[in-house]
Structure 1
Amino acid sequence: MALRSLFLHLLTALTAARAITVYNQLPLAAQTTASTATSSGAAPAATGNYTGLAAYDPTTWPPPALPNPLPATQFALDLMPSADTVQGISMQVPGSFFGISIEMSVATQVLGINASFLQVPFLNLMALIADRAGQVVIRVGGNTQDYATLVANTSDGRMVEKQAIDPNNPTGTPTLIFTDELLYTMANISKFVNVKWFLGVPFDDSTNIHMEIVEHGEQIIGNNLLGFQVSNEPDLYAKHLHRNETYGASDFYVEFGNWRDAFNNDALVPAKKTMIGPSLSLWNTTYWSLDDTWNTGFLPNYVDNLYALSVERYPADNCDFFYGGTVVYPPDVFPDYLSHSSGKGLVSNLLDSTLVAQQYSLPFIMFETNSASCGGFAGVSNVYGIALWALDYGLQMVYSNLTHALVHVGGQDVFYNPFTPPPTNESLYHEWTIGPIFYSILAMTEVLGNTNTSRVVDLFANGDNDLTPAYAIYENDELARVALFNYMDDPTGAAALDVTIAVGGNATGQPLATPSQVRVKYLAAPSVSEKFNITWAGRTLGGMYECDGRLNGTEEIVTVPCDTTAGTCTVHVPAPGFALVFVSDAALQDAQAQATATFPTTALTKTINTVSVDAAALQTSNGHSGRTRVLGSTSKGSASSAPHGVTVSGWVAVGAGLVSGLAALLVAVA
């Protein structure tokens, strides 16, 4: 009815005024998608009508119900001023703890068309991280690395070309060929932003090893290349029919050794200590475990070539349907992500291996992670609740002595991307779309600061309540920041928290060291089900198709005065919410972004019909008379040579034809 009314109104207006002006018109597909999205608050159940790309799925689910009774909404944290007296505190980690994992098959969409045409939004997003953390670590690899071959040229001239789809892999992984242009693209990105790279190598045939990617990678990327991932989730090779059904840890040990020998025997590979493994998925220990790998002699025999130990871990399986299993209903698993237990459970079986890594003086890296395997869950992996989960999970990994965690980026058909470029055929009028988990990456840089000395301890806050976790962050072994979470969703405010922080004194038995005030930044949204109305310290990266990689808005830092007599500071945490408390100006400065460099577009890919007019000026303009104006053509080289143009009466005829067509279209749509 609304569309028919609009049509009649347009027809009437045309008859009277003989002119129609339409402002800010979106493509039809964009309007259809936008009209089904929820903006904030308690989200309705999904209608199931959406059939487009997963990255733009508008599905949302109602927030999980509040617990009954509520946990305590007022509690105290008595903190030690120095890390020297804190038991169980982590080792030092860099501010760049959270990095990015990019599936090799989508490198062209994310990084750039080639080494000369880099994606400007990507540069801007990486600059946001590097400006706060000092650098960004990025892995290019994933399932597609195992069957990727470096070639001199591709048939279509692109730097990455997809070949056949692997029918045995639930992600539909294609085999790839790529050229040196990919490596030059990575190298050029590092000239603009301080990006350090991990590169995946093919592990499809360990008896006929392709060392070209290692040779060319070291030569082209140079010191900005940290290491090579040798194998990707080898514990799933048998399941994916990439090896025989008895393939296990001892077989992998032999194949990894073949690669080690290839590194050592290649005179074109000067850097030998750059191998990374074993990168197990740990999805099902009936295949094999990390301990099984260590028991083969992996570490003492290969340590001289290892840059780091690695693992890949997703908290939930969304691949089981591929094998005839049960399809997961997202609302059933949504509450699992709104719990401190999730992150603790994910790292629990890594603790022994992080100790092993320290014994061998090796970093231990979560090489690929996100909310769920095979692209995540609609309405769960792409909402604010997952941003809270990722921050909590990340801090739990730091507390457990991991060195980095790389958040995975897939293509258009996944829900969990931290950022997604627009489909290629929409790149002229759409910008990038930011996923909530990117805010976790951004916030983590400020949680840890840029001195690379941060140590983290889980405070087991509020009786170790799953819905209200908290962490203390020590920088240069002095208390710098406190991270406070509230997973509960309550628009009434009854479940909001008031957390009282004391530094020294009280239960610690030490002299009071509480400051006179603290500063607070919030990662905020109106609901755990919110998709786009998310802010970090009052600033946002926009909604669907709206991001050019730059933050919008004015930064908001809340000053909270402390009770100097009692030696306490009370910080409010909304439901839901995350608050980062800076206990000193120095702690704020160490985490504060400087003037972030942004990057202009320096090449035009559309050079015809590119005129732009300010929307406000156009809307208030009376235009010109068409009676004496000659109208040319919008096609290059085909301007009319006729002495007279189309007059106003001609425009009316054209307009009537357009409206008739619109009427037919509306009938068809209705």
Structure 2
Amino acid sequence: MARFPALLATLLCACYVRAVAVPSTPPSGAVSVDPSLVSVSIEFFAFPGYTNITGSNNCLANLATLRGAQPAIRIGGTTQDRATYDSSLQTSVNYTVASPADAPTTLTYGPSFFSLANGLKGDVTIGLNRQLNNQANSLSAGAQAKSSVSRLLALELGNEPDLYSSSSPIASGTGWSNSIDISNEANWFTALAPTLGNIFQGAVYLSWSTSTLISSIGSAGLATIKTISRHSYPQSACGGASTNLPSLMSHSGIVSYVSQYKAEATAAHNAGKKFFLGETNSATCGGGGISPTFGAALWIVDYVLQSALIGVDRLYFHHGTIGNCAYCWWGTSAVYSPYYGAAFVSEFLGTDGATLATLDSGTSAIATYAVYSSARAPLRLLVVNTNYFDGTGTRASTSVAFSGLSGSTKAAKRLTAPDATSRTDEGALVTIGGNGTFSSACVGQGTQAIESVAVSAGALTVSVLASEALIVYL
């Protein structure tokens, strides 16, 4: 059942046609895709609160259904380096804040924190405190994590140590630098590994290159590392910094931005380690005005796929303070626009998607992708039109002509909204398949419409509006 108004608008506003030949087998540059490519990071102190939100389980379950594997969860962030483990604490966390919108400056947590983590269905990474320089306390917490969390993948020791200073307790008054941190990570890892195992997530850097740690930590330290984590935020909303939605969602901009991580991913893989964007989202300090928008949903689609193409194994999208988190995908009683992008890219990759290929040069606003089966046959195509539309003027469209296909008709499904600035938390209608939405508890509702696309002489043409995306099922 086609979305006739939108399709009519597309036909009226079509600007030009792009020709794309679909390779019958994965082309050079195609990459394998981790089943948990789209994963979630949760701020340390806020984690217990997220387990009390009905939408948390449902949103994760939706993605698991679409991909056939649970999203991995990383529990960490700034407050992991403010946290002290208390084995006698009867509650999962204990802290005081002036306002519920605040993050605590200090907190304690107990054994039940890890019991909650054990309830997660995907791989679990937990961040422990290193900045306070209490190795015995972090070892005690790590031992509890290992004994309590059955799906424990890795432990982080410290969050973004590139932001530590000479006044941080870990610096011991002797200064702080990349080389000092690498030596410190090696010391902590090798000291704790006899008890906890070779289970550490190395680096956890926001600005320093993870390649330097891999090449400099030494064989003993490297042997204790299971995964490598880099943090990534394309923009900043800290200290009144200005964010820009057209720039965030630009396809050519995304291609350029993620290319910086290719060498780090390669270095990690050459060392036998998985490479994660272990904490990522649209902008630091919660994301400002751009993060809750439909444009951010389209950014997620394109950003996830481009990251996979340069070697990122998983992306952990960060979720912060409940009720004060512009880039979060869900809250206590709402599902936000960006989640639709996470769901849509998960549907594109599917339960059967084995390899991913890009079908464009990365120099324009139009992204085109193909996903292939384990038998090397094309399964689905994706078009993302990242041209920015803010709801004013004429909404242009682009037509993409795919060739090299068989059959007479193909099905298609559209991700759309009134414009790039559309926010579900402000009442805007973001949809998958014209009528598919999510309830406040993240339960799918509405019947998703399938569009029929004719194939003629092995080719089909689809039209995609500015700030819109479309999947074609082959």
Provide the C-alpha distance between the structure 2 equivalents of 1:263 and 1:556, rounded to a whole number of angstroms.
Answer: 54
In the other structure, the counterpart of 2:91 is 158
Cα gap change, 1:203 to 1:163, in 2 (>3 Å): farther
Q: Deviations over 1:137-179 (max 9, x none)?
A: 111111111222221344xx531112589xxxxx865222111
Task: Specify every segment of 5 or more residues in structure 1 that has no aligned partner in the other structure, as ranges.
Answer: 1-69, 113-118, 166-170, 283-287, 322-326, 422-431, 504-512, 584-670
Cross-structure match for 1:296: 216
1:572 aligns with 2:463: yes
Distance 2:353 2:155 in 1: 23
> Within 2, Cα distance between the matches of 1:71 and 1:246?
59
Q: Matched residues in 2 for 1:149 and 1:494: separation?
A: 53
Alignment match, 2:29: 88
Give the secondary-structure state (helix, strand or coil) at the position aligned to 1:385. helix
Measured in 2, the distance between the counterparts of 1:365 and 1:441 equals 17
CA contact under 8 A between 1:375 and 1:415: conserved in structure 2?
yes
What is the aligned partner in structure 1 of residue 142 from structure 2?
214
- Structure 1 SS opposite 2:339: helix
Structure with the largest fraction of strand: 2
Matched, 1:376 2:269: no
Partner of 1:34: none
User: Aligned match of 1:328 in 241, 255, 259?
Assistant: 241
For the pair 1:401 / 2:311, whether they are aligned, the reply is yes
Change (3 A) 1:164 1:128: closer
- C-alpha distance 343-240 of structure 1, shift in aligned 2 (>3 A): farther
Match of 2:348, SS state, is helix
Hey, what's the Cα distance between the residues in 2 that align with 1:175 and 1:392?
Answer: 37
Match of 1:602 in 2: none
Separation in structure 1 between the aligned mates of residue 359 and residue 167 of structure 2, nearest angstrom: 38
- Could you tell me which residue of structure 1 aligns to residue 193 of structure 2? 264
| Partner in structure 2 of residue 440 of structure 1 | 341
d(CA) in 2 for partners of 1:417, 1:470: 27
Cα distance in 1 between the residues matched to 2:95 and 2:143? 23
Task: Give the whole-Å Cα distance in 2 for the aligned partners of 1:521 and 1:164.
Answer: 45
- Asked if 1 retains the 8 angstrom alpha-carbon contact of 2:14 and 2:397, the reply is no
Cα shift readout 1:528-578 (whole Å, capped 9, x = no counterpart): 111111112245445xxx611201101222221211x2x101112122210
CA contact 1:486–1:574 (8 Å) conserved in 2 = yes
Cα displacement (A) at 1:451: 3.6
Give the C-alpha shift of residue 182 in structure 1: 1.6
- Three-state SS of the structure 2 residue aligned to 1:355 is helix
Q: Distance in 1 between matches of 2:185 and 2:211?
A: 16
Q: 1:201 aligns with which of 117, 128, 133?
A: 128
- Which residue of 430, 435, 438 maps to 1:534? 430
Contact 1:77-1:499 within 8 A present in 2 as well: yes
- TM-score after normalising by structure 1: 0.63
Quote the residue 1:281 is aligned against. Answer: 206
1:475 counterpart residue number: 373
Q: Matched residues, percent identical?
A: 22
Q: 2:441 matched to 1:554? A: no
Query: Which of 100, 109, 112 matches 1:181?
Result: 112
Q: Give the drift of 1:306.
A: 1.8
Q: Aligned equivalents of 2:184 and 2:341: distance in 1?
A: 37
Q: Of residues 348, 362, 370 in structure 1, which corresponds to 2:259?
A: 348
**Residue 317 of structure 1: which of 209, 224, 236 is its match?**
236
Taking only aligned residues, the RMSD between alpha carbons, in angstroms, comes to 2.5
How far 1:72 sits from its partner (Å)? 5.6
Structure with greater Cα Rg: 1
- Paired residues of 1:275 and 1:306 also in contact (CA < 8 A): yes
Q: Deviation digits for residues 406-444 of structure 1, max 9, x if unmatched? A: 1110112221111112xxxxxxxxxx2212221122112
Shift of the alpha carbon at 1:354?
A: 1.1
Determine if contact 2:29/2:357 at 8 Å carries over to the other structure.
no
Q: Deviations over 1:439-461 (max 9, x none)?
A: 12211221212246233335226
3-state SS in 2 of match to 1:80: coil
Task: Verify the 8 A CA contact 2:125 2:153 in the aligned structure 1.
Answer: yes
Distance across 2 between alignment mates of 1:553 and 1:240: 55
Structure 1 residue 289 displacement after superposition: 3.1
Q: Report whether the alignment pairs 1:365 with 2:365.
A: no
Q: Is the 8 A contact 1:206 1:258 kept in 2?
A: no
Counterpart residue type for residue 497 of structure 1? T
Label 1:537 to 1:247 Cα distance change in 2 as closer, same or farther (>3 A).
same
C-alpha distance in 1, partners of 2:166/2:361? 39
Contact 1:95–1:445, Cα closer than 8 Å, also in 2: no
Tell me the SS of whatever aligns to 1:389.
helix
Aligned length: 447
Structure 1 residue identity aligned to 2:81: D
The 1-side partners of 2:448 and 2:402 are apart by 24
Contact 2:166 2:176 in 1 (8 A): no
Partner secondary structure for residue 312 of structure 1? strand
Instruction: Find the aligned partners of 2:118 and 2:103 in 1 and give their Cα distance.
Output: 29
